[in-house]
Amino acid sequence: MARPRTFDEDAVLDAATDRFWRHGYAATSVRDLGAAMGLAAPSLYNAFGDKHALFTRCLDRYLDGGMRERIRRLEATRTARAAIEAFLDEVVARSLEDRRGCLLVNSALEVAPHDPEIGTVIAERLGELEGFFLRCIRAAQRDGTANPAHRAHDLARLLLTTVLGLRVLARARPEPAVLRGAARQALALLDPPAKGQDR
Amino acid sequence: MARPRTFDEDAVLDAATDRFWRHGYAATSVRDLGAAMGLAAPSLYNAFGDKHALFTRCLDRYLDGGMRERIRRLEATRTARAAIEAFLDEVVARSLEDRRGCLLVNSALEVAPHDPEIGTVIAERLGELEGFFLRCIRAAQRDGTANPAHRAHDLARLLLTTVLGLRVLARARPEPAVLRGAARQALALLDPPAKGQDR
DNA sequence: GCCGATGTATATCGTTCGCTAAACAACGAG
DNA sequence: CTCGTTGTTTAGCGAACGATATACATCGGC
């Protein structure tokens, strides 16, 4: 019953997400956002509220479109052990080819400590990732592809920590050997005890 | 041969470091810094150059005073294995009691990708930490307190990754059980193979 | 005690910040 | 075609940004 929008909401949100992703929340100005999105300031404010609301929207969209879908796909198509390996491999590959790192990790450090609402969202998503690892580890322990002597909770926490650490390391020292070595060693922790391979 | 400064350089640099540490580089204004340091803007600029130079100074000071000294102390007073454990324990304890996280990690994400000079400094320090872990792991493998079947390089990389990951996790989800569990599991990876303890 | 030199205080500089009022443009309902 | 509603454009608000010119205060050397 009125004038329709002239922009594609998905496209402009992608553009905004990219700016936040690259430069962080504080270092991204509304003018930057407007230019990247192809919107004048009033259209931006009319459509999305203010800068903070736009960021929240971008972060939610990023998290929904990225991690959840990936977790679901891996759990549906792979064995538990293979799902863990594939997830870590994907983190390493993405870290090496995309210098922006991970918007979730970037935001966890920059925004979450000063913004309870976003902090809660991020904590929940980290919890989801931990849950994914925990489910896979328990399943792998049952089917013999993971060492049942380790506590599943702690293993899941270490894998979560490893993912976050890889994302940090990649942004300061994006060397394939380093990232791949760390990921390989984290996976080695899952291995069940070898019977006749001692040195 | 002229008027001496009326402020304690160490004290004002501590104050500046705290502001950068808490709020990040972009979100800290020169007025914030001046107020925290007790300096008017011209004194600040006269003494330290500009905001970027002050940040570099704070970061260098933080890195020199913190990590290097800690590494040196641990390697001098403990066995290799105990040094690794103590370092991880310290990271967990500090992460839980100091909500600011780690200035090195915060800067690695926010500043390093857009600032080659600081990026180099941070990469070097991460290399030093990796070197510390590598020395300790090799020594521990020699004295039988670490599993010699693992590649020392990869173990060191995983421990480095774990430290960074713990720092991120602590800022978004500072739960003792999570951090302690991840650290414990990372240390478990060092354990030499048990002889008669299989499940 | 005076002078050159350096540090500090006052008062901004021009720019950019997040955000918005007001005028104009494009649609559906009647 | 008119009207009410919504989106877009133009222009600019007050505040805060990083950084400084200028004037004043305080030191060592003479």
Shortest CA to C1' contact from A43: nucleotide: D8
Q: What is the mean pLDDT of chain B?
A: 93
How many Å apart are CA A184 and CA B157, to the nearest integer?
A: 10
Distance A1 CA to D5 C1' (A): 7
Domains for chain B: give ranges and CATH numbers. 9-61 (1.10.10.60), 66-188 (1.10.357.10)
Own/partner pairs, A43-49, CB within 8 angstroms, 24+ separation: A43/A7, A47/A5, A47/A9
Residue bearing tokens 């993912």: A163
Position B120 pLDDT exceeds 90: yes
Q: Which residue is closest to C17 in terms of CA–C1' distance? A: A29
Distance CA A174, CA A177 (A): 9
pLDDT band at B195 (very low <50, low <70, confident <90, very high): low
Instruction: Determine the average pLDDT of the residues in B152-156.
Output: 96
Distance measured from the CA of protein residue A67 to the C1' of nucleotide D21, in angstroms = 54
User: Which two tokens mark B46?
Assistant: 């006269």
Give chain A residues 38-67 with Cβ within 7 A of strand C.
41-42, 45, 50-52
Query: pLDDT by residue (tens digit) across A112-135?
Result: 999 999 999 999 999 999 999 999
B63-110 tens-digit pLDDT: 988 888 899 999 999 999 999 999 999 999 999 999 999 999 999 999
Instruction: Tell me how close the Cα of B76 comes to any Cα of chain A, in angstroms.
Output: 27
Q: Is the CB of B173 under 7 A from strand D?
A: no
Write the pLDDT tens digit of every residue in A106-115: 999 999 999 9
Spatial separation of the C-alpha atoms in residues A98 and A181, rounded to whole Å: 19
3-class DSSP state for residue A170?
A: helix
Average pLDDT over residues A91-117: 94
- Measured between alpha carbons, how far is B16 from A50 in angstroms, rounded to an integer? 30
- Helix axis angle, A176-188 to B152-172, nearest 10°: 90
Asked whether residue B11, judged by its CB, lies under 7 Å from any atom of the DNA or RNA strand C, the reply is no
Q: Residue A15: what residue type?
A: A
| % pLDDT > 90, chain A | 88
Rounded CA-CA distance A109/A103 in Å is 10
Instruction: Give the Cα-Cα-Cα angle B38, A26, B116 (nearest 5 degrees).
Output: 85
Instruction: Give the Cα separation of A160 and A88 in Å (integer).
Output: 10
Has residue A141 got a pLDDT over 70? Answer: yes
C-alpha to C-alpha distance for A132 and A78, rounded to whole angstroms: 13
Structure confidence at residue A140 (pLDDT): 96
Shortest CA gap A77–chain B (Å): 27
Q: Is the pLDDT of residue A184 over 50?
A: yes
**Contacts of residue B155 in chain A, CB cutoff 8 Å?**
185
Which among B99, B169, B181 has the least Cβ separation from residue A153? B181
Model pTM score: 0.91
Q: CA at A35, C1' at C13: how many angstroms apart?
A: 28
Residue nearest to nucleotide C5 (CA to C1'): B2
SS3 assignment for chain B: CCCCCCCCHHHHHHHHHHHHHHHCCCCCCHHHHHHHHCCCHHHHHHHHCCHHHHHHHHHHHHHHHHHHHHHHHHHHHCCHHHHHHHHHHHHHHHHHHCCCCCHHHHHHHHCHHHCHHHHHHHHHHHHHHHHHHHHHHHHHHHHCCCCCCCCHHHHHHHHHHHHHHHHHHHHHCCCHHHHHHHHHHHHHCCCCCCCCCCC
3-state secondary structure of A79: coil
DSSP string of A22-41, one letter each residue: HH-STT--HHHHHHHHT--H
| Chain B residues closer than 8 Å to A108 by CB | 168, 171-172
> How far apart are the C-alpha atoms of A105 and A101, rounded to whole Å?
8
Q: Which nucleotides of D are covered by protein (CB under 7 A)?
A: 4-12, 16-22, 25-29
Of A3-12, A38-47, B50-59, the range with the lowest mean pLDDT is: A3-12
Predicted confidence (pLDDT) at residue A196 exceeds the cutoff of 80: no
Instruction: Find the residue closest to C8 using CA and C1' atoms.
Output: B43
